[in-house]
Amino acid sequence: MRRILTFCVCVSVCCIRVQTAQAQDSSASASHSYFITPPPPPVVMPPVGNASYLITRFGGGSGVVQDAALSPLRYLGPGALTGTEYRAYQETTFLSIAADIQGNFLSPSIGNDLSPAQIVGVQVLPSLTLAFRVVNEEASALRVYAGGTAQGITHIKLQTAYGNSATASDVYFGVGAFGRVEKDFSLFGQAFRASSQLSLPLLGAANRPSYSTTVRYPATAISNPLGILSEVRGVSIAAFPILDFRNSLEFMLGSGNFLALNYDWNFYSYTHFNKVQSARHAISVAFLFKF
Amino acid sequence: MQKITRLVAVRTASILALMLVLLLVSCEQILMDAPPSSKDNAAVFDSMWETARTKYTFFEFKRIDWNAMREKYRNRAIQAADNEALFNVLAAMLNELQDDHTNLVSKFNLSRARPFFNDSLNYDSDILNRVYLKNQELYTGSLVNAIVERGGRKFGYIRYASFLSPLDSASWGFVINRFRRENVAGMILDIRNNGGGAISNCNFLASHLATERCTVLTEMTKNGPGAKDYNPPQSLILTTAQPSFNDKRVAVLTNRNSYSAASFFPAMLKAPEFAHVRLIGDHTGGGSGLPIDFQLPNGWTYRFSGTKTFVPAGRITRAQALAAAPNANHDVDAEVGYNFEGGVPVDIRVTMNLADRTRDAILERAMDYIVNGR
């Protein structure tokens, strides 16, 4: 727990430092008059207030899974993702409704020459976030939002091995804290917006539907048709730490639309008989359509 | 100005790139536990022993002291000089479970328990083909079928060699129509030496033989690491299907090599809705636990039973249970039913004399049952 909190604080401080450095650099360059020719006209970033975006993104990434229900080995490998988001800025609020889906094809860290098994994992991450602007430094175009988020994770893993294949899945729904830092700046005469956000669910419910990884009996009908072998548990961040860290560099196109390069990382760890740990990296390109 | 702008850009990009690289390679390294070493024999052994301790389902039923197995095999595993020696130690420990759903798989070997290896085969394909089928059988999908004649009567014979082979309504319908057309006295369904496969194929066959919708089996699944951690028993219910064959007698032939799905199917037939069906031959080989797969830190895979399945209580007598599995602890889960891990007891037990190349005693006894009802 302490490791996780330390990690979060370090990451957040790093992000803010980078953005502050950029701000200082911009103002420093503006205060010196080295120009021989007149400077290009300043690029005007549209005001963030009262703008709504529909965001679609595509990309690739990687995944790491260590799921003791399937294997003691660590699995890692490449993946692909897509996602969509509705994002609305009001004067002082930030609203986001988003869902990502990422599929990973993972191989054991000891190599396929020693292990024939692989894991195909699909992770779905819906979220609903509402945050309020708590810092608005107009001079440096820096904004900080803080608020709450409701997040879900559904992670289905299929391990292919000799004989039967084994499946395991995790389902989580939680509510928690959300922080986002945004900064507008110009570079090469173009308008950019950088942002970092961190979601930290604090309380939730987790469900690991099956203790064993047995394929359920496919009877014509069974007395409990859903085969409920699951157990929903209330969990706190101590029992189910989740970190969701997202960074974006947005380049303004015409008409207030943006093209963005994103980097996301999330991690979760859960112990319910078996320890399950999973991390995901993703780099994606997104189109932000203003409407 | 351009120079300064470029410097700022380069510095910003460098910081961002550095952050990105650090995040990409190391975030989870800080947070995730290190996996056990693949080269440590003790870690490999402990992984298997502990997983079986918490997930295997028949320790009590088979009276196995798993802690004693750790004492017996751990040092041998640690001292194993190479992979082959380690494999042999781990396979020997798994084979103590006497469970044919148990295998250890490496690139160079596959272990198997074969608990009934020394039992009589009670099946000879050569006798069957030469004396009864005479190369006249039809291969209809997965169903090898023939009309066998004796004493002026015709018997519909089906050989289903593996529950891995898919069954379909068209093939089944063709065979049943053929038997109806030939006016057979009854059906002989031969699943001897059938090593199992998909349980859905058990449903298929049983649903075409049942007279009514019925509860056929009861299943319990492990839901925690404790010895008593199971979900409440779940009844498995079967519905009927057409074209059915439930108006004439049916003999199902089994032997000790009728395993897994080839034991699930005979276990289903103990329901009262199969009053026209008799199991004839030797008790089945059992296999009432559906296997689950795991992996060891060195990459080898292994599996063992992770559920247990029962013939609902009241359908198997204690004498029948002891006949099929004399060493098992039948008091475990007795209120749920009969655990057929040690085999499904047959209704009419027949042992073949393989030296007699002129007759299949089990098949002959099946024809007797169809004619006499006994």
Residue A46's pLDDT is 63
A227 and B299: CB-CB below 8 Å?
no
Residue with tokens 């196109």: A253
Nearest Cα of chain A lies from the Cα of B162 at a distance, in angstroms, of 15
Residue B28's pLDDT is 76
Domain boundaries, chain A: 2-22+54-213+230-290
Question: How far apart are the C-alpha atoms of A217 and A214, rounded to whole Å?
Answer: 9
Residue A240's pLDDT is 77
Q: Name which residue leads in pLDDT, A118 or A38.
A: A118
Residues of A in contact with B229 (CB under 8 A): 211
Q: Would the pLDDT of A81 be above 90?
A: yes
Question: Cα separations (Å) of A113 from A49, A108, B200, B298?
Answer: 56, 10, 34, 11
Question: How far apart are the C-alpha atoms of B71 and B78, rounded to whole Å?
Answer: 12
A215 band by pLDDT with thresholds 50, 70 and 90: low
**A9 touching B (Cβ < 8 Å):** no
Residue A163's pLDDT is 61
A49 band by pLDDT with thresholds 50, 70 and 90: low
Q: Would the pLDDT of A149 be above 70?
A: yes
Residues of B in contact with A164 (CB under 8 A): 291-293, 303
Residue A114's pLDDT is 82
**B320 touching A (Cβ < 8 Å):** no
Neighbours of B312 (CB within 10 A): 20
**B90 touching A (Cβ < 8 Å):** no
Q: DSSP character for A41?
A: P
Residue A1's pLDDT is 43
- Select the residue of B38, B55, B200 nearest A212 (Cβ to Cβ): B55
Average pLDDT over residues A176-205: 89
**A215 touching B (Cβ < 8 Å):** yes
Q: Would the pLDDT of A31 be above 80?
A: no
A211 and B223: CB-CB below 8 Å?
yes
Average pLDDT over residues A44-53: 74
Positions of chain B with pLDDT lower than 70, given as ranges: 1-27
Residue A140's pLDDT is 85
Per-residue pLDDT reduced to its tens digit, B265-276: 999 999 999 999
Q: Name which residue leads in pLDDT, A41 or A101.
A: A101
Residue B199's pLDDT is 86
Q: Would the pLDDT of A146 be above 50?
A: yes
A220 and B203: CB-CB below 8 Å?
yes
Check if CATH label 2.40.50.140 holds for domain A2-22+54-213+230-290: no
Closest CA to B220 of A231, A216, A274: A216
- Select the residue of B225, B293, B298 nearest A164 (Cβ to Cβ): B293
Query: Would you tell me which residues 199-258 of chain B have a C-beta closer than 8 angstroms to some C-beta of chain A?
Result: 199-200, 203, 207, 216-217, 219, 221-225, 229, 231, 234-239
Query: Would you tell me which residues 133-192 of chain A have a C-beta closer than 8 angstroms to some C-beta of chain B?
Result: 159, 161-166, 187-188
Residue A41's pLDDT is 59
Neighbours of B280 (CB within 10 A): 25
Mean pLDDT computed over every residue of chain A = 79
CA nearest A245 in B: which residue? B23
Label the pairing between strands B337-339 and B307-312: antiparallel
B103 and A163: CB-CB below 8 Å?
yes
User: The complex's ipTM?
Assistant: 0.76
Residue B371's pLDDT is 97
Residue A38's pLDDT is 63
Any idea what the Cα angle at residue B197 is, between residues B295 and B106, rounded to 5°? Answer: 30
- Select the residue of A163, A219, A267 nearest B237 (Cβ to Cβ): A219
Residue of B25, B28, B336 best to disrupt the A interface, most CBs of A under 10 A: B28
A106 band by pLDDT with thresholds 50, 70 and 90: very high
Q: Would the pLDDT of A80 be above 50?
A: yes
Residue A205's pLDDT is 82
Question: Torsion angle of alpha carbons B68, B71, B73, B74, nearest 10°?
Answer: 140
Residue B223's pLDDT is 78
B270-274 long-range contacts (CB < 8 A, ≥24 apart) are B270/B311, B270/B315, B270/B316, B270/B344, B271/B210, B271/B214, B271/B215, B271/B216, B271/B238, B271/B312, B271/B315, B272/B214, B272/B315, B273/B210, B273/B211, B273/B212, B273/B213, B273/B214, B274/B206, B274/B209, B274/B210, B274/B211, B274/B250
Q: Is B272 helix (H, G, I), strand (E, B) or coil?
A: helix
Residues of B in contact with A265 (CB under 8 A): 23, 27
B299 and A22: CB-CB below 8 Å?
no
Residue A156's pLDDT is 87
In order, the DSSP letters of A155-193 are EEEEEE-SSS-EEEEEEEEEEEEEEEEEEEEEETTEEEE
Contacts of B13 (CB under 8 A, 6+ apart): none
Residue A51's pLDDT is 87
Nearest Cα of chain A lies from the Cα of B213 at a distance, in angstroms, of 10
Residue A189's pLDDT is 81
